[in-house]
Structure 1
């Protein structure tokens, strides 16, 4: 960035996924527009741990320089634990450090927002716009000329096929496109945000920002923390706690109130998850060797990755499904979830209750498992939890830890879902195909395990002790009418201010039945259009 820069047209505070998409689109379409993108973390340009999918777990290490770790409050709902939630702390945000899993919401997710300009008919074109889809030509719901490449990558862990064999024998249909915006129950080999030729991760910064290195009007400032928005009255004029939020809470902290929005920081959501660990045969390929940084392994596969092939082109998430309970299973899930199902899911067959993915390896602390053993995990991700938390400031010091309540498992209906999820993955992995490599097909007769009341109580205890984050934080500045607790309008303007918009996952007014990366990209694309319209410009 030029040292003499003192005035710009647009400032993006935070260089996350949505911001990179919005800034990149605006800069490419309007080269004379002076844009400043400010990111508190480092630049991700050509950082090996970012562009190498197989190194993704390095970002969750305690000494990570690319992730931010937020300490949640202790809660009885999770047996007195204080869950820790990670978020992106590098240019590109979560898209630079996530598991590179390609997922997309149900079409009804967008319609459920009930926000003008944000219905499925408005956002599906943007979902197509962001991607170049390599898994089948001519599909109406997919795009073929976007900056983000979608593929299977160039490496397939064979245990994924065994997982699919077993889960389909358990009655889950194998589908061609799980992310067609209408399928709510099925399984498939999972696509990834990975380039099919280079094997590189497709993060927002490398796909939207870095290709414009020669654009002298696009300025990137990294390792810089924005601590406050400057206002002239209610007009945002620059960046330097900003006085927007609950007036009572702000006044107690001595923060001058600019706009009284009581719901700022409330309605925090995440996809609560349960990720059990399973031991598998020592001859089964997993990502454990990468996690352990085995020198023999790395010496072999790093050169292969340079050619766009091999282990390191994979995120080890090769198979998974979107699941809804059968009528018989629903009867066993308890009255709390049954009420939720009737209200939320009964008339929405495109919305899954659970997202399940196979991870070929163990991403917890190595001290928890025996040396030299191989493991796999099955992530059970609750698509639409009913529990809510909050994130509130505690001081005028912008670096002070927030009052962060994750809300995990506050509602019994969420526990009911994860009990069912545990039983699903336990049944799958009780079969040999989920545990060891087979020379022949998995068994054709698969019997469900039977659980007593005592068993169910033990499973609930296991869940309250182990359930946690999926790193999908949303909803603390919701886009809805102000009288309904909203903080921004349909054009992303913060109520009670001018010149100030919010464009990230905090605006999402209702959860989505998918990992949140695609939604963040769509928010960025939509923000670029809205900002351009406000300025009398155009984004094709």
Structure 2
């Protein structure tokens, strides 16, 4: 059953899952399926209503759920400001049953083999994870083949970009998005889309909710609009239960009231990259200096908790085209064209996806030499010995990449992000229940690797701009989505009525242009909400927090199953897949022990 507050006589349970996100929903469902006698309680901070909505192809072109009101996102404000401004960077995390799979349905993409090389635990090696992911992909492919599909031809922007990229940058067509080994490769995301009636469902709608109200699952409970504030640990460092806070169950004048729920077998933290480390620290597990500052007694010293936060600094760029409204999706995103128009083919457009071509790339050795000796050394330390490690990912958009400031005229754009950032941040408890309860730093472009992260964005800006300039449909830049180069600079935005000649020379950027470009990147970079790594699966001597069995070091009866355990970088569009996979593998591990 789904509860907004627990019944008065609600007793002990077998397994408590702290967080009903993507991994938590999968884990809970698999445990309930394997043993319906298990008493399972999922505690989710967000609400459940949005999770029950079914996402239909075409409901929303960019893959986000159409309805993001009603607190479906929880916002974290980073301590570090946008460079040269007084604005702070924010990161949104799903705050709803189903987590990221509810809010970001279509954000998905292929991995690189390197994504798995940093895992060290038994059963989590590269070949193990690749096999598991490919197995999931094969099943999904079988389902898609059975569904009613319609083939769609490439959009003009897709074909022109891929041709220009091949000629200009030597980036090859990988042919299939399941290719995990190709580097400097690009591919169409799909040459087929489901018919309008085809459904996509979140981990909650597709797995948890169909079971939760069935009479065959009387021991399966979900408590929403509540959160696990602290894990209870006895003198033997064994977890005995949790303290739960339910804001909706209290009046404003009441003192903060907590409900203690005992766990007979296990507690699993699935609160996410930003939530799980805070839960551990509140429970006395973490860096002693952080816990001492917050006046929390140290139960187990684990300095890795909350540190090593990684996200993908991201920027968008937009270009003008000579294409008609039926050849881009701008008219749809601005409400000029409806999805009914699309499927009735009134405008000639056959695909609503806002991201049509994906690529994973890295600079050549000659290009790295131009970065200078200091950055060359950083590059050698992090990338030289790993030729399969992409530095940059991108997605091509057949529209203005920012619908909010688009005027609806046909555009094309690109989203560029760091796929292997060196910079890291952190999140920690600061003063529980105070006005400033946490400190969060996203770490963009900081530390020894920050300069290289920035330089790689500079490199990619110049690279992608030359590719767009050679596309037949190019008619200039949208200045609101490019650096404010001086009007007399060769790099200044232009507008043209004709395509540029094929032998057009590359833009010659001056030192001042580079300074303007770097400042623009520092000021405008945002996050893909694809964060990882705050409770890594590594040994304690490497600042690890969990072992290969997902158990928290030094604690019995507490496991973690979410994206916080990922020890290294992860391709930015991989997060939904990995969250699902972690949920599945956590269930396999736990069922062997229960």
TM superposition score category, shorter chain reference: 0.7 to 0.9
Distance 1:458 1:523 in 2: 42
Deviations 1:428-480 (A, max 9, x none): 2223445369xx99975564332222222221111111112111111111111
Q: What secondary structure is seen at the aligned counterpart in 1 of 2:453?
A: helix
1:398-417, aligned counterparts within 5 Å? Answer: 401-410=437-446, 411-417=450-456
Match of 2:559 in 1: 501
Q: What secondary structure is seen at the aligned counterpart in 2 of 1:517?
A: helix
Match of 1:140 in 2: none
Match of 1:236 in 2: 239
1:198-237, aligned counterparts within 5 Å? Answer: 198-213=197-212, 214=214, 215-216=216-217, 217-233=219-235, 234-237=237-240
Q: What secondary structure is seen at the aligned counterpart in 1 of 2:440?
A: strand
Relative to the length of structure 2, the TM-score reads 0.77
Relative to the length of structure 1, the TM-score reads 0.84
Match of 2:577 in 1: 518
Please say if residues 151 and 194 of structure 1, whose CA atoms lie closer than 8 Å, have aligned partners that are also in contact: yes
Q: Does 1:333 align with 2:371?
A: yes
Q: Does 1:460 align with 2:465?
A: no
Distance 1:164 1:399 in 2: 51
Farther-moved stretch of structure 1 (53-62 vs 258-267): 53-62
Match of 2:260 in 1: none
1:219 CA drift (Å): 2.5
Q: What secondary structure is seen at the aligned counterpart in 1 of 2:41?
A: strand
1:15 CA drift (Å): 1.3
Q: What is the RMSD of the two structures over their aligned residues, measured on CA atoms?
A: 3.7
Match of 1:469 in 2: 527
Please say if residues 537 and 565 of structure 2, whose CA atoms lie closer than 8 Å, have aligned partners that are also in contact: yes
Please say if residues 46 and 224 of structure 2, whose CA atoms lie closer than 8 Å, have aligned partners that are also in contact: yes
1:82 CA drift (Å): 1.8
Match of 1:34 in 2: 39
- Whose radius of gyration is greater, 1 or 2? 2
Distance 1:164 1:452 in 2: 29
Please say if residues 52 and 312 of structure 1, whose CA atoms lie closer than 8 Å, have aligned partners that are also in contact: no
1:190-201, aligned counterparts within 5 Å? Answer: 190-191=189-190, 198-201=197-200
Match of 1:168 in 2: 166
Match of 1:139 in 2: none
Distance 1:179 1:441 in 2: 34
Deviations 1:310-343 (A, max 9, x none): 9797431111211121233222233444334323
Distance 2:150 2:384 in 1: 32
2:26 counterpart (21, 34, 49): 21
1:321 counterpart (349, 355, 359): 359
Distance 1:133 1:336 in 2: 47
Please say if residues 528 and 572 of structure 2, whose CA atoms lie closer than 8 Å, have aligned partners that are also in contact: no
2:111 counterpart (105, 110, 121): 105
Q: What secondary structure is seen at the aligned counterpart in 1 of 2:227?
A: coil
Farther-moved stretch of structure 1 (523-532 vs 109-118): 109-118
1:289 CA drift (Å): 4.1
User: Are residues 163 and 230 of structure 1, via their aligned partners in 2, closer, same or farther at CA, if it must alter by over 3 Å?
Assistant: same
Deviations 1:135-177 (A, max 9, x none): 6xxxxxxxx4799999999796542232222212222111112
Please say if residues 290 and 430 of structure 2, whose CA atoms lie closer than 8 Å, have aligned partners that are also in contact: no
Q: Does 1:126 align with 2:168?
A: no
Distance 2:435 2:94 in 1: 16
Match of 1:187 in 2: 186
1:112 CA drift (Å): 2.2
Considering fraction of residues, name the structure with more strand.
Answer: 2
Q: What secondary structure is seen at the aligned counterpart in 2 of 1:275?
A: strand
Match of 1:492 in 2: 550
Distance 2:80 2:372 in 1: 26
Gaps of 5+ in 1: 136-143, 536-540
Distance 2:376 2:532 in 1: 25
Please say if residues 59 and 66 of structure 1, whose CA atoms lie closer than 8 Å, have aligned partners that are also in contact: no
Distance 2:145 2:220 in 1: 18
Q: What secondary structure is seen at the aligned counterpart in 2 of 1:83?
A: strand
Q: What secondary structure is seen at the aligned counterpart in 2 of 1:509?
A: coil
Match of 1:138 in 2: none
Distance 1:256 1:134 in 2: 47
Gaps of 5+ in 2: 244-281, 477-497
Farther-moved stretch of structure 1 (156-165 vs 350-359): 156-165
Distance 1:172 1:442 in 2: 21
Match of 1:396 in 2: 432
Match of 2:75 in 1: 69
Please say if residues 323 and 473 of structure 2, whose CA atoms lie closer than 8 Å, have aligned partners that are also in contact: no
Equivalences, count: 519
User: Are residues 75 and 441 of structure 1, via their aligned partners in 2, closer, same or farther at CA, if it must alter by over 3 Å?
Assistant: closer
Deviations 1:360-386 (A, max 9, x none): 3345473x45x4434333111111111
Please say if residues 245 and 259 of structure 1, whose CA atoms lie closer than 8 Å, have aligned partners that are also in contact: yes
Match of 1:277 in 2: 318
Q: What secondary structure is seen at the aligned counterpart in 2 of 1:72?
A: strand
Distance 1:431 1:13 in 2: 51
User: Are residues 393 and 450 of structure 1, via their aligned partners in 2, closer, same or farther at CA, if it must alter by over 3 Å?
Assistant: same
Q: What secondary structure is seen at the aligned counterpart in 2 of 1:276?
A: strand
1:511 CA drift (Å): 0.8
